[in-house]
Amino acid sequence: MLSDAEILEHLETGEVKLEPFERSCLNPAGYDLRCSKTVVLKPKQYELVSTLETVELGLRVTAFLHIRSSLAREGVVGSFAVVDPGFRGQLTLNFHNVSEKEVTLREGERIVQIVFHALGSVARKGYSGSYQNSKGVVSSRRNKR
């Protein structure tokens, strides 16, 4: 797992790119990604939400996403995929409100922490799936191949 100092080093070398980067979102062991627009999560329903940041990973790094604990305490759960080496784009996240109350995610609000992990060796091939270069919310492309 990369520390804040290592994340900054990876940003300097270009192995990790986060645009726009906001230093106040940097944590000791990750970076808080923000919501690209205001979304209301209705009770017992889910919404797809995109990150404000575009994420780009080199072939030496992978990343995992974790919901912010404040959202979990309000009854919001998330289903997130691994961010593979070589991925580039905005991330589409699935948030499910299991509570009885509406929860509003505001534009620019921190919603998930991305945690970076250095690989033991360089990946032989980078991500080249159907979500490469994603912009905004991207619905499932599972049955569109």
- pLDDT for the residue numbered 142: 84
The whole model's pTM is what? 0.95
- pLDDT for the residue numbered 12: 98
Helix or strand or coil: residue 112?
A: strand
- pLDDT for the residue numbered 103: 98
Closest CA to 28 of 51, 57, 6, 61: 6
Residue 77 has pLDDT above 90, yes or no: yes
- Domains delineated in the chain: 4-118 (2.70.40.10)
Residue 38 has pLDDT above 90, yes or no: yes
Interacting residues of 71 by C-beta distance below 8 A, sequence separation 6+ = 78, 95, 103, 105, 111
